Amino acid sequence: MHDKTLAQTAEALRTGEVSALELTKHYLARIARFDDALNAFITVTEEHALAQAAEADRRMAAGEATPLTGIPIAHKDIFCTAHVRTSCGSRMLDNFIAPYDATVVERLARAGAVVLGKTNMDEFAMGSSNETSYYGAVRNPWDHDAVPGGSSGGSAAVVSARLACGATGTDTGGSIRQPAALSGITGLKPTYGRVSRYGMVAFASSLDQAGTLTQTAEDAALLLETMAGFDSRDSTSLDEPVPPYSTVIDEPWDDLTIGVPENFFDEGLDAGNAAALGAALGELEKLGARLKSIRLDNVHLSVPAYYVVAPAEASSNLSRFDGVRYGYRSPEAMTGNLNEFYKRNRGEGFGAEVKRRILIGTYVLSTGYYDAYYLKAQKVRQLISGDFARAFAEVDIVAGPTTPTPAFRIGQKTGDPVEMYLNDIYTIGANLAGLPAMSVPCGFAGALPVGLQLIGPHLSESRLLKTAHYFQRATDWHARVPPGYD
């Protein structure tokens, strides 16, 4: 049963080839068998999943089903889920039980999806390798000694290992696309505001965006149709109609011009990745696309700009976690004065990477440094947005690498934060500009998968999904399963 895509599983449920309860039990058995080696789940909600599956079967028997009814999925542990722990991969929220569902969770539940559990992640979504989690590193199904990418590494590993039909994730600087590329699956970050952030624990509010991790673009389209749409509880939510993505992707191929940034293919790109990407671009040409060389002159500034803006917003968003109303409280917290109380709670509750970013953010927002760093980074952000706007006046989408290298070894970059940050060099620009972007499997560098990144203008998810869907109909990279998980 796990050899089917989400779309194929939906058809099997619709025709009665399998029941939702049978399907859910099958996936729960796979989680029990494989997750000890992967560490991809923080919480498995077996009892709740079986109850949801039984309700899904009732809805299908009554003719009340949607395309997602009975589909087993997983949620990144950054989305609030009523009566289930929402930890954000942090000791700070290890005991936090949310009293309500995030909009994403609510909409998928309403559609009848079955939630298998909550997935591991970099602490508060701060990381590129899923090594900063309080619950330990997630391992890549393609190589257990390698990282799956981050911060949505648990969701990526779950889908890659076929432990769920799909999963939710969040992308602040590449945290859906990067793990999708390193784990050999499809990852979609929609336009900023396309999917509600209500109930999604904030990292950097002007950059965070919920999205999907799936086997295929068709699967992503099915999930996005349900997740997207205006939400009055989110002030950044876009009040725009949601296209029927799952039908749009099968419409006839458009006259498509694809921009290929020259400066994305420099000496920083691994040779194996470059070869796979070259072949993928050639395949898009065979499908009828025209390739055009372009330049994004300010994109090399995206990493320094991001690592000023994102920590600044994080320092503000994480100030609420102090052990007073909720969150971790040190056993020694009450032995000193109020300052000691806060210092112990936050010092013990947050991990090293979160502390690093809080310190950076507080520094760049402080008197005397705001203009020199934060304001300047926001100006650079506008320059990067302008680069993309000029590019989209000439091309329909931009295509290039998702990551500079295939998956690296666990522990390889933890001692050098800057080297770790550079893993997001190709993905951050889309977040700074609020653009939709996705990564699709396009080949291998040695035994590890490589991702092709597609970036489009605002609200062009249909175009990206359609391009990816046609590419996946002509190739089978998305169908490859890690050894031992087939």
Question: Residue 76 forms beta bridges with which residues?
Answer: 119
| Helix (H/G/I), strand (E/B), else coil: 302 | helix
Long-range contacts of 22-25 (CB under 8 A, 24+ apart): 23/53, 23/70, 23/72, 23/114, 24/49, 24/50, 24/52, 24/53, 24/70, 24/72, 24/114, 24/116, 25/50, 25/53
The C-alpha atoms of residue 346 and residue 340 are separated, in whole angstroms, by 10
Query: What's residue 335's pLDDT?
Result: 76
Kindly give the pairing relationship between strand 290-294 and strand 437-445.
unpaired
Burial class (CB in 10 A: 0-12, 13-18, 19+), 41: buried
Query: What's residue 253's pLDDT?
Result: 86
- What residues in the chain have per-residue pLDDT under 70? none
Query: What's residue 206's pLDDT?
Result: 97
- DSSP symbol at 372: I
What is the fold of 6-252?
Answer: Amidase signature (AS) enzymes (3.90.1300)
Determine phi and psi for 261, rounding to 5 degrees: -65, 125
Query: What's residue 20's pLDDT?
Result: 98
The C-alpha atoms of residue 107 and residue 103 are separated, in whole angstroms, by 6
Query: What's residue 16's pLDDT?
Result: 96
Query: What's residue 266's pLDDT?
Result: 84
Query: What's residue 325's pLDDT?
Result: 82
The C-alpha atoms of residue 403 and residue 149 are separated, in whole angstroms, by 10
Query: What's residue 45's pLDDT?
Result: 98
Give the active site residue among 76, 189, 413, 466.
76
Query: What's residue 336's pLDDT?
Result: 74
Query: What's residue 368's pLDDT?
Result: 86
Reading the block at residue 79, the tokens are: 């989305």
| Helix (H/G/I), strand (E/B), else coil: 53 | helix
| Helix (H/G/I), strand (E/B), else coil: 6 | helix
Number of residues assigned to the chain = 486
Give the active site residue among 19, 133, 151, 460.
151
Query: What's residue 157's pLDDT?
Result: 98
Query: What's residue 136's pLDDT?
Result: 98
Give whole-number Cα distances, 209 to 80, 175, 236, in Å.
Answer: 15, 10, 11
Q: Where are the domains of the chain?
A: 6-252
The C-alpha atoms of residue 148 and residue 136 are separated, in whole angstroms, by 13
Whether residue 376 lies in the annotated active site? no
Q: The whole model's pTM is what?
A: 0.97
Whether residue 439 lies in the annotated active site? no
Query: What's residue 152's pLDDT?
Result: 98
Whether residue 232 lies in the annotated active site? no
- DSSP symbol at 91: G
Query: What's residue 337's pLDDT?
Result: 86
Query: What's residue 21's pLDDT?
Result: 98
Query: What's residue 232's pLDDT?
Result: 98
Contact by Cβ (8 Å): 426, 159: no
Query: What's residue 76's pLDDT?
Result: 98
Give the active site residue among 129, 133, 175, 315.
175
